[in-house]
Amino acid sequence: MTDPLVIFTPSGKRGRFPVGTPVLTAARQLGVDLDSVCGGRGICSKCQVTPAFGEFPKHGVTVAPHALSDWNAVEARYDEKRGLKPGRRLGCQAAIQSDVVIDVPPESQVHRQVVRKAATDRVIEMDPATRRYFVEVAEPDIHDPSGDLQRLKDALRDNWEIESFEVPLPVLAGLQSALRKGNWQVTATLLTPAAGAPRLIDVAPGFVEAPLLGLAIDLGSTTIAGHLCDLSTGAVLASSGIMNPQIRFGEDLMSRVSYAMMNPGGAAEMTGAVREALNTLAAETARESRADPADIVEAVIVCNPVMHHLMLGLDPTELGQAPFALATSESLSLAADELGLNCLHPQAGAYVLPCIAGHVGADAAAVALSESPEQQDKLTLIIDVGTNAEIMLGNRNRVLACSSPTGPAFEGAQISSGQRAAPGAIERVEIAPLTKEPRFRVIGCDLWSDDPGFSAATAVTGVTGICGSGIIEAVAEMRIAGLLDASGLIGSAEQTGTSRCAPDGRTHAYLIHDGSEDGGPRITVTQADIRAIQLAKSALYAGARLLMDEMGVDRVERIVLAGAFGAHISPKHAMVLGMIPDAPLNAVTSAGNAAGTGARIALLNHAARGRIEQIVRRITKVETAVEPRFQEHFVNANAIPHAVDPFPELAQVVDLPRVGFNTGASGAGAGGRRRRRRN
Amino acid sequence: MTDPLVIFTPSGKRGRFPVGTPVLTAARQLGVDLDSVCGGRGICSKCQVTPAFGEFPKHGVTVAPHALSDWNAVEARYDEKRGLKPGRRLGCQAAIQSDVVIDVPPESQVHRQVVRKAATDRVIEMDPATRRYFVEVAEPDIHDPSGDLQRLKDALRDNWEIESFEVPLPVLAGLQSALRKGNWQVTATLLTPAAGAPRLIDVAPGFVEAPLLGLAIDLGSTTIAGHLCDLSTGAVLASSGIMNPQIRFGEDLMSRVSYAMMNPGGAAEMTGAVREALNTLAAETARESRADPADIVEAVIVCNPVMHHLMLGLDPTELGQAPFALATSESLSLAADELGLNCLHPQAGAYVLPCIAGHVGADAAAVALSESPEQQDKLTLIIDVGTNAEIMLGNRNRVLACSSPTGPAFEGAQISSGQRAAPGAIERVEIAPLTKEPRFRVIGCDLWSDDPGFSAATAVTGVTGICGSGIIEAVAEMRIAGLLDASGLIGSAEQTGTSRCAPDGRTHAYLIHDGSEDGGPRITVTQADIRAIQLAKSALYAGARLLMDEMGVDRVERIVLAGAFGAHISPKHAMVLGMIPDAPLNAVTSAGNAAGTGARIALLNHAARGRIEQIVRRITKVETAVEPRFQEHFVNANAIPHAVDPFPELAQVVDLPRVGFNTGASGAGAGGRRRRRRN
């Protein structure tokens, strides 16, 4: 008689097995992705399956009602204690009796996929580096002496095919008592780092149900964001953000590097500050999700090169001067403890993504991991805007990356009425072309400023200033409304026909909102603001153009705006301003916090850590600081084209009256022009 | 024209190389063992060779006077600064011009052999786990950004074929400054542990000449001995011994285990004490040899299982009760820092030899490494006497091991006039058969007590007591002189004919020395002393017999006495006493401190670490505590045969009057007799 046929869905894997074979055994032999922590002992309930009965013409089988063994005592006990969903069986208990079709529900798959919250439709495949294994360990035998650890190793090899692993001394010190308390049944937790041997990080008596947690950290110059994730489901349990305490040593990265250079022990002081903040963040996210920080077994960290060095305790001085040499560019698989992350599990691991170059950090690597430029058919430009903008351009043939020093203007800094994105900040601006009257929206309120009820709705927050996305829209709208010329000069009330353009020193400023009657601020866009935005957007545009030159292209097919800022700016206004190369509006998408997503991918998917190493090695690094064409593009990008134009660079060739916006740049501008003539 | 022939001695390796090939290059291509730290840059002078000139009929070549290139500027500079021995050349500078014979002197060989100090003629082949590598690292290039670490890795791969290694964060933190201070030339130190990836433990600017040091530690229950070795020459720079501070928690191991069981935190307290002592020992040996303890990059530790657990911070409780389960029996490759060894190099490694069983520790493994029972043709019995005796029996076919609870009598404890081996202790005893008068020698003086000048020579130390080897000789001599019967009973003055046998309570004691007139002690051997020695020697003999039973033999071909004690006892007296099985006297040798030698082998020869793992796995462990035959042998071994007899067990079958030496043993004795009758 032929053995019964077993067909697993959704994988379609099939095979014949002797009557009495447990479903879990069949699944393992066929390589079906069916989870199990207890190794088939009916304890963990991870191997739940749903048998299907009746006719399956597609599979060519008929499944009889008793195709699986009867519900047994182990299943009954589990159902009573925890409840099994109707139709579910425990794969380790249900045995095959005749032909059967068995569905593995997503929650029983180890490599289940977790849909990302972001707008894009990509998913994260679960493949965590840290897993729990329940085992029964042989008791010691006086006639065959072997250590407790050796018998644990035997059990892990025999039950889980785990061949070798390292054991930190503190874990070894807890082994004897765990084995005896658990009556020789223990749950072992193993962490497999990106490099090096797996590590036994925990042994606990009996079967442990508490989830393993991981923390994905996006360590920015200004803010530090953390996402606490369940390492078996991929669920984000809590997200939290705190200010980077290094701000007190310098707002921007270069002032922190200077602080390190000027003050003996300054780098160590900053290292201490950021590590303390990481501990706070871990504790904060754990508190939010009512978890124990000691259950956090892994942290993944992405950050720019300067934060990378400061967080690792490496001197950042070299990053402040050419040739911008990193101490190390490879990823790091560390003990969290080495980074002073001492509120996590005592044996927690920390993975730091690789850096791409001295100006293009692990945060850019994380964006690459999230946005996968190396897998795109279309030539894709990815821009992550911050104090430095990281820019990548590529497709499956080639990927380029550079960093461009945009300065903090896009973050609302160095803008007269600028502020960080926070409730009360103007984030959207429209200016009526005829009346030149503005309307705006502030963060925390869905109404426009000319909607009824706006004042009441914003009574608490007030209108406090203008944030990065707001200033971009304001400048672009001013240009569209004719309040600015192509060189960026604000016209007078006479030239523009609106009294909102009022003298401000030797230039003019445009009034967006006057809250002074209610004790609030007067919010204007000054000529200096325009110049600051021109500097920032020229740098960004020049970086993108430099990569396009290097790639030998004049146009890109897709633009992805990454970062919190990228999620809020209007592509139309960014193009009017000349921040980004022109592209069809529907080809411009926002990837949200792509660096944070990349960190989360590396946290949840072990193989992704190897992948990003390879991607980073394949990326061609372009250094803007020493590239004459960057200066050339920078100067050329200063003007503000008055409409979305598919070839904005052509418009700029026309010699518009140009205002030298600072003395340092004028020389470069001359150099740029000289070179252009030569070509 | 054929390329010149190059012949290296003593290896005899030969090959043809183009004119102009440096000798070092030729040596490398032929696999000749020629050292180099600087990789051929003329800095390290490790590659010194001695070319030979003239006719070499044996090799079939004639070497012309200009077979090598002329002495060059690098060699001249080195000779001026340091001095080259006459006839020596630097292998990296001297280039081949015509057929040549080149001798590699022992000090230029990496794998040179170091003759052991011990009596045996075996040698330690140098193959240290930690080595220095001088490299020139590429400077950073802004157009091809890569981290300092990646460029160091490239240099180590290209120059030394070192493919991958781990880098601890503190070493990484020092890399930038080392590279720049050394003007991109650095000396990297790599440690290759027995398990796991090589580790970069140090990077220093320029070429470093300071030797790498290692500490071999023999951690005993009572004393801790350390040997500081030069890892490139193998030389022992200093040896030092200190008391084990755990003595205050209990003299013997079981009382320390009890202390751990009875006192919360007691184990941790003992761990702290022994770790502090290890630091003291390291500092002490370094001070003695005027070295910096921070140059000690490796420590190798051997010890018994209880010390093993206490030193590692593992609870020793399980070792105090059957089934005597070790927490781990495998070797451990740790950071020294994990053991609190914080006066060594901050990244120093620590290697702990594997344990054989719950009673047979890493010290026994070290003895096995030193004495290689698994390589012997002759059936060899190795006995390492301490508070527990470790006993091994085997040859190249099979090796058995057990531990026997001899108690501290052999160390002079529990003996009425007993003391540790120290100046003033009686270590040799002779009793004249006719007069029954004793003569003796004390430690620290070469004269016998009846030699003229003895009193003067021992005036400072005095005669203070009797040490382990002394009591063995005393008891054996008493038996030979007829002062004891076969059961161990001391005769009266009437029975023995000497007034030195005087009543002592209900039994008698024999007076060896009366120093009471000078305020010194009266040194006697009491009946209780005889009983204590009988207990100890019976345990030792029973262990050896048990292994012989297991092996199915009645005689052994060689006996090796290991340990400081083993070096001092007289084989003849040990056989008279029935401590060890009979064997021809010339087949009994002393191995000195074999455990310490084993530690030194593991320190100096990396491959030995793998070898001892394999040996330990192959050893058959025999547990005396639960073996009925052990009790049987123990009881049977109680008597003292009156002469060296090749078959002492036959003599014991004669039913001599037997004195029950304690109540607990009498039952076992009865059992032993019962079983003997049954056979």
DSSP H helices, A376-497, are 454-457, 468-480, 493-496
Average pLDDT over residues B457-469: 90
Nearest chain B residue to A148 by CA distance is B327
Q: Clarify whether residues A660 and A571 are in a common domain.
A: yes
Of B169, B197, B358, the CB nearest to A145: B358
Of B147, B313, B326, the CB nearest to A173: B313
Question: From residue B138, how far is each of A377, B156, B173, B175, B610 by CA, in Å?
Answer: 37, 11, 18, 13, 36
Q: Which tokens is B403 given?
A: 């531990």
What is the structure's pLDDT at B251? 74
CA distance B312 to chain A (A): 7
What is the structure's pLDDT at A668? 35
Q: Clarify whether residues B268 and B199 are in a common domain.
A: no
Nearest chain A residue to B322 by CA distance is A142
| Distance from chain centroid for Cα B260 | 28
Residues of chain A neighbouring B166 (CB-CB closer than 8 A) = 195-196
- B148/A325 CB distance under 8 A: yes
What is the structure's pLDDT at B645? 39
What is the structure's pLDDT at B116? 40
C-alpha closest to that of B469 among B449, B490, B440, B501: B440
What is the structure's pLDDT at B113? 62
- With vertex at residue B333, the alpha carbon angle to CA B276 and CA B34, rounded to the nearest 5 degrees, is 110
Of A148, A322, A339, the CB nearest to B142: A322
Asked if B612 and B369 count as a contact pair (C-beta separation under 8 A), the reply is yes
CA distance A375 to chain B (A): 23
Residues of chain B neighbouring A357 (CB-CB closer than 8 A) = 145
What is the structure's pLDDT at B675? 34
Residues (pLDDT < 50) of chain A are 115-121, 644-679
Structure-token match 């003593």, residue found: B10
Q: Clarify whether residues A419 and A306 are in a common domain.
A: no
Confidence of residue B592 (pLDDT cuts 50, 70, 90): confident
CA distance A626 to chain B (A): 8
Residue A369 located in a structural domain: no
Asked if B411 and B249 count as a contact pair (C-beta separation under 8 A), the reply is no
Q: Clarify whether residues B24 and B89 are in a common domain.
A: yes
Of A141, A197, A314, the CB nearest to B323: A141
What is the structure's pLDDT at B667? 34
SS3 of B669, please?
helix
Residue B123 located in a structural domain: no
Residues of chain A neighbouring B355 (CB-CB closer than 8 A) = 147
- B324/A626 CB distance under 8 A: no
Residues of chain B neighbouring A170 (CB-CB closer than 8 A) = 313
Residues of chain A neighbouring B315 (CB-CB closer than 8 A) = 173, 176-177
Residue A116 located in a structural domain: no
Determine phi and psi for B299, rounding to 5 degrees: -130, 135
Q: Clarify whether residues A310 and A200 are in a common domain.
A: no
SS3 of B98, please?
coil
C-alpha closest to that of B172 among A616, A308, A194, A299: A308
Split into its structural domains, chain A has a count of: 4
Q: Which residues contact B45 (CB under 8 A, 6 or more apart)?
A: B78, B82, B84, B90
Question: From residue B254, how far is each of A177, B316, B353, B410 by CA, in Å?
Answer: 20, 10, 22, 17
Confidence of residue B296 (pLDDT cuts 50, 70, 90): very high
Of B170, B328, B623, the CB nearest to A172: B328
Instruction: Decide which of A59, A76, A108 is a domain's last residue.
Output: A108
Instruction: Decide which of B108, B137, B153 is a domain's last residue.
Output: B108
What is the structure's pLDDT at B520? 87
* Alpha carbon distance B273, B277 (integer Å): 6
Instruction: Decide which of A205, A238, A253 is a domain's last residue.
Output: A205
* Alpha carbon distance A137, A296 (integer Å): 26
- A140/B325 CB distance under 8 A: yes
SS3 of A572, please?
helix
- A146/B196 CB distance under 8 A: no
What is the structure's pLDDT at B112? 65
CA distance B282 to chain A (A): 22
Of B172, B355, B626, the CB nearest to A314: B172
* Alpha carbon distance A181, A204 (integer Å): 9
Nearest chain A residue to B199 by CA distance is A196
Q: How many CA atoms lie within 13 A of A349 on its CB side?
A: 29
Of A143, A195, A330, the CB nearest to B147: A330
- B145/A621 CB distance under 8 A: yes
Residues of chain B neighbouring A362 (CB-CB closer than 8 A) = none
Q: Clarify whether residues B508 and B556 are in a common domain.
A: no
Residue B31 located in a structural domain: yes
Top residue of A139, A141, A143, A146 to mutate, by most chain B CBs within 10 Å, is: A146
Q: How far apart are the first and last CA of chain B?
A: 84
Q: Clarify whether residues B316 and B384 are in a common domain.
A: no
C-alpha closest to that of A481 among A429, A417, A541, A412: A429
Q: Which of B551-555, B587-591, B651-655 has the lowest mean pLDDT?
A: B651-655
Q: Is the pLDDT assigned to residue B421 strictly greater than 70?
A: yes
For residues B644 and A285, the model is more confident at A285
Residue A83 located in a structural domain: yes
* Alpha carbon distance A605, B501 (integer Å): 84
Residue B359 located in a structural domain: no
Nearest chain A residue to B147 by CA distance is A328
* Alpha carbon distance B672, B659 (integer Å): 15
Q: Which tokens is B51 given?
A: 């070319």
- A621/B328 CB distance under 8 A: no
Structure-token match 């203007």, residue found: A409
Q: How many CB atoms sit inside 10 A of residue A165's CB? A: 17
Nearest chain A residue to B357 by CA distance is A145
Average pLDDT over residues B180-208: 95
- A173/B143 CB distance under 8 A: no
| Distance from chain centroid for Cα B395 | 20
- B318/A169 CB distance under 8 A: no
CA distance A325 to chain B (A): 6
Q: Give the number of A-B residue pairs with CB atoms closer than 8 Å.
A: 152
Confidence of residue B585 (pLDDT cuts 50, 70, 90): confident
Residues of chain A neighbouring B324 (CB-CB closer than 8 A) = 140, 142, 145
Structure-token match 């009382």, residue found: B255
Q: Which residues contact B392 (CB under 8 A, 6 or more apart)?
A: B364, B367, B368, B371, B373, B380, B381, B382, B399, B400, B401, B547, B619
Q: Is the pLDDT assigned to residue B305 strictly greater than 80?
A: yes
Q: What is the DSSP letter of A336?
A: G
Q: What is the DSSP letter of A106?
A: G
What is the structure's pLDDT at A444? 87
Residue B437 located in a structural domain: yes
Q: Clarify whether residues A156 and A97 are in a common domain.
A: no
Confidence of residue B114 (pLDDT cuts 50, 70, 90): low
Top residue of A137, A139, A141, A142 to mutate, by most chain B CBs within 10 Å, is: A142
CA distance A144 to chain B (A): 7
Residues of chain B neighbouring A625 (CB-CB closer than 8 A) = 142
Top residue of A167, A169, A301, A324 to mutate, by most chain B CBs within 10 Å, is: A169
What is the structure's pLDDT at A31? 84
Q: How many CB atoms sit inside 10 A of residue B570's CB? A: 19
Asked if B558 and B580 count as a contact pair (C-beta separation under 8 A), the reply is no
Q: Clarify whether residues A252 and A386 are in a common domain.
A: no
Task: Residue A164: give its domain's CATH number.
Answer: 3.10.20.880
Task: Residue B96: give its domain's CATH number.
Answer: 3.10.20.30
Would you say the C-alpha torsion A372, A378, A384, A390 has a positive or negative sign? Answer: positive
Task: Residue A285: give its domain's CATH number.
Answer: 3.30.420.480
Q: Clarify whether residues B218 and B342 are in a common domain.
A: yes
Residues of chain A neighbouring B326 (CB-CB closer than 8 A) = 145-148
Residue A505 located in a structural domain: yes
Structure-token match 């003239």, residue found: B54
Residues of chain A neighbouring B173 (CB-CB closer than 8 A) = 312-315, 327
- B142/A166 CB distance under 8 A: no
CA distance B654 to chain A (A): 34
What is the structure's pLDDT at B253? 86
- A173/B327 CB distance under 8 A: yes
pTM of the model: 0.81
- B148/A326 CB distance under 8 A: yes
* ipTM higher than threshold 0.95: no
Top residue of B310, B326, B352, B621 to mutate, by most chain A CBs within 10 Å, is: B326
Q: Clarify whether residues A505 and A384 are in a common domain.
A: yes
Domain boundaries, position A159 = 129-205
Top residue of B328, B355, B402 to mutate, by most chain A CBs within 10 Å, is: B328
Residues of chain B neighbouring A142 (CB-CB closer than 8 A) = 322-324, 358, 623, 625-626
Q: Clarify whether residues B340 and B386 are in a common domain.
A: no
Confidence of residue B593 (pLDDT cuts 50, 70, 90): confident
Residues of chain A neighbouring B358 (CB-CB closer than 8 A) = 142, 145
Of A166, A322, A328, the CB nearest to B149: A328
DSSP B600-621: HHHHHBHHHHHHHHHHHHHSEE
C-alpha closest to that of A599 among A210, A281, A124: A124
Of B167, B197, B328, the CB nearest to A149: B328
What is the structure's pLDDT at A644? 44
- A149/B327 CB distance under 8 A: yes
* Alpha carbon distance A467, A446 (integer Å): 16
